[in-house]
Amino acid sequence: MLLPVDDPFSPLDLSWLDPEPIACPSLSPVEQRRLRRKISNRESARRCRMRKQRHLGELRDESSRLRDQNRELASRVRTLAQQTLHLRRANGRLLAESSALRLRLTELRRLVLLRRLLTHGGFGCSRYEQELASLIS
């Protein structure tokens, strides 16, 4: 005897969806309980598969979102690395220019000191030291 539960996907018989099968007088109470348990287990397995599919879909969506985010972050890292390189080069040029200007300023101060000493007549030791001190400070 083929019970409705034995072919759960039969297009003609949807009675297996009902958790309370129609009482069949030919089935003993033990067989009816077994049949109800079988139907209940199948429904539980179906819900479990649906939850699993939904969870898998959520994981796929999250994976896609994280891949997009990773691409965006990698692009930002490349941009920032290029900007950093540009700034380091500019900083190096500015440091070299600063050093050259500092050296030039020192040379100009020496020339000014020498010119002052020559125009004010003589190399008086105290006057030279005063001029030098004023230029250093």
- Give Cα 17 to chain centroid, integer Å: 47
Q: The dihedral of CA 119, 124, 127, 130: what is its sign? A: positive
- Look at 121 and 123; give whichever has higher pLDDT: 121
pLDDT at 125: 56
Q: How far apart are CA 130 and CA 136, in angstroms?
A: 10
pLDDT at 133: 66
**Which tens digits make up the pLDDT trace of 81-102?**
999 999 999 999 999 999 999 9
Return the residue matching tokens 């020559």.
Answer: 118
Domain range list for the chain: 4-136
The DSSP H or E segment spanning 124 is none
pTM of the entire predicted model: 0.50
Return the residue matching tokens 């979102």.
Answer: 65
- Give Cα 31 to chain centroid, integer Å: 58
**Long-range Cβ contact pairs of 8-16 (< 8 A, separation 24 or more):** 8/42, 16/42
**Which tens digits make up the pLDDT trace of 23-80?**
566 889 999 999 999 999 999 999 999 999 999 999 999 999 999 999 999 999 999 9
Q: How far apart are CA 128 and CA 119, in angstroms?
A: 12
CB of 42 closer than 8 Å to CB of 8: yes
pLDDT at 105: 96
What are the distances in angstroms from CA 67 to CA 62, 64, 125? 8, 5, 77
CB burial of residue 132 (10 Å; 0-12, 13-18, 19+) = middle
**Which tens digits make up the pLDDT trace of 2-37?**
444 455 454 445 555 555 555 566 889 999 999 999
pLDDT at 120: 76
